[in-house]
Each structure stands twice: as C-alpha cells, then as structure tokens.
Homo-oligomer: A and B are copies of this chain.
C-alpha cells in the first residue's frame, strides 16, 4: 500500500455542522466541505447529507470516489467501534445508525466509526499538543464534558461502546442533579452551563459589573468569549467561578492519573481556547494536589493545538492506522 497513492476522508459529524476533509497519504489536506447537520430531518436524510458532503469534498480536492483509500467518521455520541454503529446521538435524535455499513457499500472502501472526542484526542496525540506521550487523557469541557484516552497509540474503548465518560465522574456526593440521574457528576459541576449558572447568580448580586456592560440584562447564553472579556476587564468573581470549575476538572483528572498514569492531559474546546491560562493552571494545580505524591511530576497539562481540525484529522488518521495495521 505504501507505494501507491492514498486518499483519506476525515469526517466530523457535529450536532450542528458536519465537515468532510480529503487528505493525501501524509494527511495533507486537499479539499473540504462543510454543511449543516439538520439532525431533526431524521437519520436517513442525515446519512444522505453525509454522503453528499463527502462527494463535494472529493470534488473540491479534484478526486473521485474510486480514488478513496478509506474514511474515518467521528460522531457526537457513543459508538460501537467494532460494528461501526452510531449508538445514540441525543443531540441529533438518531440511534443505532450502521454508518460503517452504509458508507462502505456506498464507497467500496474501509470505513472507521469513532466518537468525535476520541477522534480529537487521537488527532492531538498524533499531530498536536500530546505528540510523543504514551498515555493521553483529553478533556473537552463545553455544554457537556467530553473525554477520550489514547493509550500507546490506541483509542481506549469498551467491548460494545466507546467510553471515557469523564463528565460522569462523581465530584461531590451531594452535588447538583445530573441529567444521568445521579448527583454531583463533573458535568453538572463544571460544564459551560454550570459556569454560566454561577455567573448568572453573581450577576444578580451585582458582582459582575463589566459583564453587565457587555451583555443584555437577561444574560442569554453566555459565550466563552464574553466571559473571557469580562475577566479581562476586571470581573474577578467570574474569574474565580471559572477557576473553581477548572479545579473540579482537576480532581477528575487526578483520579484518572492515579489509575492510568497519564503523562499528558490535553484540554480543549471553546471555553479552554477562550481562557487557556486559567484552565491549564487551575486544572493542573488541582490535579497535582490530588494525585499520589509519586505522580505529582509525572504528567503535564496542555492546551489542544489543532482546534476544529482535531476531530476530522484524527478520524482520517485513525482510519489510516487501522487499514495499515491489517494490511
């Protein structure tokens, strides 16, 4: 396979947008196409849109279907990596979609299905902030808190499902009620929603003067950039709220390090990118405080480098790795 030309497609199926990129054998990008996901149109229509997007990315790269070597597709949901099935994408309202089978019969090439956070962490481990690490833990706080682990070049996953539900590690026994039915999960304590709710409370008390100059008085969805700007302008209460949330992520990271001796922790997503210093320092400090002393110097905490490319590139790289390992 090394002697002939290879063309790979990486696909990032997001809750709101989908993105297809075409790469060469060295994973240099040759073309791409973006489109709205429109999950509400149903999963059959969704697969049709995926195919249309891949075809248009191929056209953008001046390639055809027969040029394709393989496809990797990251999904916003747990997946069964062995059977190549999207299990349940709550954001899209899709379940049990046999994506691997549908795309393989359409394109007649191998297709790898993986979780989008796993794809991003794999991308960072191969080409980004975690290059060279043996055990990489990725944590992506956002609406929820996604996690992924790459151990010695392999995405860690369960027998019938992807895993790494770090958002559901329990941080406080008596914490907030989580959507999963338990209390005090990391996600309910440190996601963007948790931070925004604390900020709204502080705003009500009049503790966030700079923020209140920037946004409507009813504080609609607080974007990460707005929070970062308010902190920059001097809203120390908001900074402390973000630090507290990051410290909770640090406790979950410490539990992971105690179990798996991760040597690199990658933080990513919109909130981290908007406030990288606060997140990296607070997570690392809290994690160091909570790991066993012998692990205190054994890991570093870094910000993801690949941004929106991480998942799509990681998906293509994972497909390439799987195909090469069997050929």
Seen from chain A, the residues whose Cβ lies within 8 Å of a Cβ on chain B are 78, 88, 134-135, 147, 149, 151-152, 154, 156-166, 168-170, 172-173, 180-182, 251, 255-256, 258-263, 290, 292-295, 298
Q: Is the CB of A158 within 8 A of B260?
A: yes
List the 8 closest A-B pairs by CB distance, nearest first: A158-B261, A163-B261, A165-B258, A134-B159, A159-B263, A168-B258, A168-B292, A169-B255
B residues near A180, Cβ cutoff 8 Å? 292-293
Interface centre among A161, A166, A259 (most CB of B within 10 A): A259
Apart from A156-B260, A169-B259, what are 19 other A-B pairs with CB-CB below 8 Å? Answer: A88-B294, A134-B158, A147-B259, A149-B259, A151-B151, A157-B261, A160-B298, A161-B298, A162-B261, A163-B258, A163-B261, A165-B258, A165-B295, A166-B259, A168-B258, A169-B255, A169-B258, A170-B255, A180-B292
Complex Cα–Cα for A173 and B184 (A)? 12
B residues near A293, Cβ cutoff 8 Å? 180-181
B residues near A298, Cβ cutoff 8 Å? 158-161
How many copies of the chain does the oligomer comprise? 2
Q: Do A161 and B255 form a contact, CB below 8 Å, given A151-B156, A156-B151, A172-B173? A: no
Chain B min CB distance to A259 (Å): 6
CB-contact partner of A263 in B158, B164, B292, under 8 A: B158
Complex Cα–Cα for A261 and B154 (A)? 15
Complex Cα–Cα for A169 and B251 (A)? 10
B residues near A158, Cβ cutoff 8 Å? 134-135, 260-263, 298
B residues near A149, Cβ cutoff 8 Å? 259-260
